[in-house]
Amino acid sequence: MADSRSSRSEGLGASSPAPAVTRAAAVLEALAESPSGRLTLSDLSRELGIPKSSTSNLLLALEEARLITRQGADFALGRKLVELGAAYLSRLDEVQEFYKYCEQAPTLSGETVRIAMLDGDHVIYLARYEGHPAVRLTSNIGDKMPVSLCSVGKALLAQLHDHDIDSMFPDGMELPTMTANSLKTAEELKAEISTIRQQGYAFEDEESTVGVVCLAVPVPTHGAHGPSLGLSVTALKATYSEEQGALMVKELKELARSLGNPMG
Partner DNA sequence: GAGTAGTGTTCAGCAGATTGAACACCCGAA
Partner DNA sequence: TTCGGGTGTTCAATCTGCTGAACACTACTC
What residues line the site for a copy of itself (CB under 8 A)? 7, 16-22, 24-26, 28-29, 31-33, 37, 56-58, 60-62, 64-67, 69-72, 76-91, 117, 119, 124, 126, 130, 140-144, 225-227
From the list 196, 184, 129, 187, the residue with the least C-alpha distance to 158 is: 196
67 or 116: whose CB is closer to DNA? 67
6 near DNA, judged by CB under 7 A:
no
* Residue 50 interacts with DNA (CB under 7 A): yes or no: yes
7 binds DNA per the rule CB under 7 A: no
Interacting stretch for DNA, rule CB under 7 A, among 14-22, 111-119, 232-240, 245-253? 14-22
Closest CB to DNA among residues 71, 167: 71
146 touches 183 (CB < 8 A): no
Q: Which does 246 bind (CB under 5 to 8 A by kind): DNA, a copy of itself, none?
A: none
For the chain, report the end-to-end CA distance as a whole number of angstroms.
Answer: 42
DSSP classification of residue 170: -
Q: Taking the complex as a whole, how short is the minimal distance between the CB of residue 148 and a copy of itself, in angstroms?
A: 19
Please state whether beta strands 68-71 and 202-205 pair in parallel, antiparallel, or not at all (unpaired). unpaired
Residue 25 interacts with DNA (CB under 7 A)?
Answer: no
User: Binds 40, which of DNA, a copy of itself, none (CB < 5 to 8 A, cut-off by type)?
Assistant: DNA
* Least separation in angstroms between CB 83 and a copy of itself: 6
Count of positions (residues) in the chain: 264
| H/E segment holding residue 248 | helix 242-260
Rounded to 10 degrees, the C-alpha dihedral 203/208/213/217 comes to -40
* 17 touches DNA by CB under 7 A: yes
Nearest CB to DNA, comparing residues 22 and 177? 22
Cα–Cα distance list, 195 to 122, 157, 177, 182, 187 (Å): 20, 12, 20, 16, 13
Q: Could you give the 3-state DSSP secondary structure of residue 1?
A: coil
Whole-angstrom distance, CA of residue 126 vs CA of residue 95: 7
Q: Which is nearer to a copy of itself, 29 or 188 (CB)?
A: 29
Q: Which residues bind DNA (CB under 7 A)?
A: 15, 17-20, 40-43, 50-54, 56-57, 73
